Amino acid sequence: MSSGRVLVVLTEFVVLLAFGSRFYFDKKLNDLTEILDQKTAQIESFADVEAQMRTILAKQAPVNDYLNKNIKFSQKYEEIAKTIPTGVKLEKIYFDQNTMRLSGKSETELGFAQLLRNMKIMESLSYMNIKDTTFDQNSKSVMFTIQANYK
């Protein structure tokens, strides 16, 4: 066989190989396109669900904030309730993020002193200020207003 014939046969083989591979790659491209279309349809079908979930989560955020703030309020309230000795009655309680204000009346000076001591040892308080104290001679009680700052 001459080299010219070998060259022609090899060229025909390459042409047939290219022709055959075209069908293979066309089928592969079609399969990938179908898979992509199916996955796109799946994703689009979840678009409504995603929109609903985002709406629900947006509505849930204020509720979570409210609950978190109330939990902190509840903890602060429980902590101050534990420090109040018998004979001390609170008339007003004010809480916010950093401040607590108490107004009330103690039946005895000892009860008022115990309240102050208990508040001094509260670890959550960084600063305490007695705003106002008065002693009522008739009822022998101490009226007070205390402001404290949280750490």
pLDDT score at 34: 96
Cα 131 to its chain centre, rounded Å, is 36
pLDDT score at 71: 66
pTM value is 0.55
Strand, helix or coil for residue 74 = helix
Domain 83-150's class? alpha beta
Angstrom CA distances, 40 to 30, 62, 93, stand at 15, 34, 58
Give, for all 151 residues of the chain, the pLDDT tens digit. 688 898 899 999 999 999 999 999 999 999 999 999 999 999 998 998 999 999 999 999 888 887 777 767 778 888 889 999 999 999 999 988 789 999 999 999 999 999 999 999 998 899 999 999 999 888 889 999 999 998 8
